[in-house]
Amino acid sequence: MPKVTYREAINQALAEEMRRDARVVVFGEDVAEYEGSFKVTRGLLKEFGPERVFDTPISEAAIVGAAIGAAIGGMRPVPELMTVNFAYVAMDQIVNHLAVMRYMFGGQVRLPVTIRMPGGGGHQLGSQHSHSAEPLFTHVAGLKVVYPATPADAKALLKAAIRDDNPVIFLEHEGLYNSSGEVAEGLEAGRIGEAQVLREGSDVTLVAYGAMTHVALEAADALASEGLRAEVIDLRTLRPWDQGRVADSVARTHRAVVVEEAPPVCGIGAEVAATITERVFDRLDGPILRVSGADVPLPYARQLEQACIPHAPDVVRAVKRLMQGAW
């Protein structure tokens, strides 16, 4: 099975979906001539031409607004916002229009818009270019939110997002673009809303997504060397998320730690912890712990930035606290 990078997997998904369906169009800032800030759209202009791959003005509100209009007109647009931070200036279009329009018109219009946005910290880009904004989008009814951790999932879930008749926020962690993994040839579209157990265990369930999935796996390796067996679940999709698979795992392990890069207040970890408590409270042997990013704007200085982002030792310490009853 060939290995490809996360970047290449997304590029393959875009190209294959554009070949499959002439209604799929790609546009955004510098996605055509420059082939994207992270080179995800490399080669698309050459293959599909300027009518299906084109650059836009520097206006995220206009990009999303154009995507909404194109979708209502029968297209399947895949706009790229250069970073998730820039989505804040398009929130009116995303929240007040894209997310609700299908409901407001009683299902008479479809909004098959997939907004691709890279984000996350760890790159010394300062507070205005390092957001983990997934909790904001996950809160919005009418949106689906996908955050893959591996090249295979990035490709399969992007295909699923593009084919979905509902608006999808497709998040990509900048730190994963150069990561590589096996991607089967002819990989078909995945299923939005299904988590995956990446490692089986019996002592504690680690729930993560995006780049934090790899942190959780690293922590599980470290715990295994000390005789602790951690089950690792990659959520993959944040809205809808796979409550059943997570609850079933925690019911077996009796303990849970949720790992997220975003700050903890009203975050994904809080949602997962609350749901676990509601579904399997009587099976828990301790509180659900959260390992989250620091509740501060992300610093520019490398040492401070890294101190604000969860790492495997942070997860290991949380698990040991849980196992020892030291909460």
CA dist 12 and 1 (Å) reads: 15
Q: Environment class of residue 291 by beta-carbon count within 10 Å: exposed (0-12), middle (13-18) or buried (19+)?
A: buried
- Residue 173 a catalytic site member: no
| Sign of the alpha-carbon torsion through 155, 157, 160, 166 | negative
Distances, alpha carbon 110 to alpha carbons 22, 75, 105, 113, 120, in Å: 17, 10, 10, 9, 30
Q: Are 232 and 217 within 8 A, CB to CB? A: yes
Nearest-angstrom CA–CA distance, 312 and 19: 41
Q: Which of 8, 16, 129, 173 is catalytic?
A: 129
Give dist(CA 179, CA 258) in Å, integer: 23
60 catalytically annotated:
yes
Residue whose C-alpha is closest to residue 132's, from 224, 238, 228: 238
Residue in the structure block whose two tokens are 């650059």: 55
Query: What six digits make up the tokens of 149?
Result: 């951790």
Residues in the chain: 327
- Angle between the N-to-C axes of helices 6-20 and 151-163, in degrees from 0 to 180, rounded to the nearest 10: 30
Whole-number Å distance between alpha carbons of 233 and 215:
12
- Catalytic residue, from 17, 29, 35, 60: name it: 60
Catalytic residues, by residue number, are 60, 129
